[in-house]
Structure 1
Amino acid sequence: MKQVLIVDDEPAIQEGLPLLIDWKSLGYEICAVAPNGKEGLAAIKKFQPDVVITDIRMPILTGLEMLKEAQKQGHTDFYAIILSGYSDFSYAKEAIHIGAASYLLKPIDEDELIEILKKISQENRDFSPKNDTQILFAKIFGNDQSGYLRFGFIRNFRVQSQEVAQQLKTIGESEGFSVVILGHVEFFHVLFLSKEEPNDLRLPMQIQKIDHQEILISNWLTTDKNLQEVYDQIRFLGNYTFLYPNQHLVYDQVLRRQKNSIFNFSMKKIAEALVIDKSLSTILATYWEHFTLVPVTSQEICWQVQKDYEQVEKYLQSEKGMSIQEVNFYNEIKSLASIDQVKEVVNEKYFLLLAQVQAELNSSNIVARIQKYSAEHLSEDLSLKKMAELFNYNRAYLGKKFTRQVGQNYLDYLEEVRMEKAQQLLQTSNLMVYEIAEMVGIPNVDYFYKKFKAFFHASPNDFRGGQI
């Protein structure tokens, strides 16, 4: 059925014209009636009628002004019939000039109107496929933010190849949908259109079987509002093709996963694996998995993996006392096409770091590293057991190695370092004695006084006052 819009400020026309003839038998139906040119223009945008029957003289916008404005806005795919109670030829001339098909005087002769409508049908104008393509392109990719009530529901499938677009068209038509293919930038958008709400919202099995092709799929949306949402959903999914190359991505599924998934991963796991040289591949696989559980964009991923790597470096430096060469690979990964390519580069960096860590563990002086770590963490609860765990050594072996190399056991060495640090702080700062005691890891002030006097034969206060 061709859609007819009636625009007239006379109630007699508004109410009587729909009843004047048998529209349905002629292949027409009234889609809307508007009382003035302004509302008529809005109805043209909304309903995209095939025929517009309009009065010339109306308030706000005249019929001719309405038709001119519709042309300016790109709405030209309709047949216009001008009505007027004035026989002045100048109106007819202007109507013909702007593309109106016919000019009828009021009162309307029903036989004359029927002849015009038959003539329109005999012209066999292609109101559907060509116009749907043009109209939908303007509404989805252009500036036309009105809906399209020719259909009720729409779903968008974005693909890269024309061959797959044609496959989808065949599948859609076999499911009873009208299908329009739009080319935009380097992609094809295959639009499934339905006048009735689809009963089964699942993807047809034939689509699910299209392998090795990236297909982005919007939700089913109603066509009574801005159709740019159809494109917005596809652009949203485009952010995640980096994570899921050559897969079918459905908007609501990705959105739900993005909002609801929670995954915590400690970079300490990777750092510990580097030190003990065990299970690094397994731990890295778990690390990458958390990005797919909580979808993020390619830019966010590249930034995060660089920061995570830096966190591992800092842990090895501060907690393990290692001299690690810092590496920045962000510029190397930010332009890669998929997460698989990023994994390959970053995993290689971690295995190079593993080799560096193991080389340092094998060649470095473990005693010197323990001494360095102890001096930097005096306020903590230090013990030989903790040192053995931190540096992945057997406790008994480490104790013997430390005593042999330093000439005293670790606890005696630690006590001496703490007292020397306390002495330095008493000489160079205005800190209270209890504050210094806490800073060197002896929070019990009485015990601190006792140890300090045993070392320096003077109390902390006497030492600071110079009475030694």
Structure 2
Amino acid sequence: MLKVLLVDDEPYVLEGLKVMLDWEAHGFRICGEASNGEDALEIVRVCNPDLIITDISMPRIDGLELIRLSTQKLKSTAKFVILSGYDDFSYAKRAMLYNASNYLLKPLDDVELDSVVTKLAEQIRQERKKTENINKQLSFIANQSIMRLINGDNKPSLIGRVGMLLNIAEDEELRCILFEIDSAESWAHGEEKIGLNMNRIQAGKVIEDALGPAFQLHIFEDGKGRIGIIASEKMPFFNSLEELAQGLLIQLNQICGDVVYASISDSEKGLSLISKAYRQALFAIGFKFYSPDKSFIKYENVKGLNINFEMCTEDYNTLLELIRSNRADEIEPVVGRLFENFSQNLSAPQIIIAYLMSFQMELVKVIMEINGDLQEFLTLALEFQKTAEHMNMPELRGEFLKQCLSAASHINGFKQGNPQYIVSEVKNYIKQNYCNDIKLKEVARHFYMNPVYLGQLFKKFSGMQFNDYLNTIRIEEAKKLLQRTDMKVSEISSAVGYNDPKYFLSKFKAITNLPPSAFKTGKTT
């Protein structure tokens, strides 16, 4: 759809222009109306109309000056139709000098206006088609040249070529804007990948429309699916680039389903610094994970920060225990503190996701121990891994919390009246407390059960007596200490819960058929 701007200081003329023609039938939509040249000039700057119908005699800025400023200052390629109440050849002559397409006298004749608009609409389409064909070839050349430049090729000949194609002087001020639709292309397959590519095509069209024909070559793709703009001070909107980018971000998120991020570099001076500006924008967009509302990220706000790629060492046993015991009111604060630590450390998304996936596998182990619905949790874990890559921090926190609460609810539901779950919990209790002097009575008291009944349940569902299982766990831990440390046997005995070293030795031999010294020296055969 082509855009037309109507300009006249007489309200009834403006109203007449709106209804005199069926603009949509001619392929136009009215992008603005103005009663003076100043307002009209602002609309030209923002909307970049294809056709401007303007009165010649207006206060402050008249129609001829509007044409001059639009074409020379704003680089508008619009067609102009001049309206005048005076049959004055000098006006017509001056209008034609400014490349006005037509000069119509008031009162307007609707047939004549219809004929002029029909002719101009066809002319605009033909010129646009021709320009698009030329621009496709130039865009390819420009994109390849920009790609080489941002990848570090600073040959003077290449810099000169980019400057010529983009009409940027060597000492001109410039900035780089990047738009990213999601973060990785590798996740997309089949219909998803087609949808992602369609989003990029649509996004590119929106950006082209916003910049206008004069600046199409300033748009590039960086080879990683990101769309960039090399903005220079010749652009009429250079001083309001951030507002332009934020407006585009809103449009692109509406088109692409709210998965677009944007960043902008600092201002640099000189064509040779295009690569630097690009790297700044690229660095800034790397912080999209911490952006709460997929907002516009400025390099100046993040240039002193660094993403942390060290492995997370947060202990998740507390959270696992809360999930096991279904203490839902305590789960959310613990998850909150976990993610606060991630944010404070600026942990890399990959590191956070790896940590959360490790936790998911621990949850799967818990479900396996109680013979719960393992398939359901494996499916949830895999789905979480797939979607987590495309979430920002608040979204990831919300999804992870939901998974934890769901697991707690599932385990609690299974726990009710399920003796096998109780045995699983007793085993877990033993693994956590084997180094203490624990006995069946104390464990039964911890689980509010009769010790005789708990002993029977444990034997039935584990195949071992309580004390036999406790000794097995202790000896397994002792073997690890023997092989990995220089501790004395008496020290290891105490460390795994035996007060009497002789008793420890007897149990060790009974379970392993070997003395501790065999493991200490590595002679286990």
TM-score if structure 1 supplies the norm length? 0.44
Rg larger in structure: 1
Which has a greater percent of helix? Answer: 2
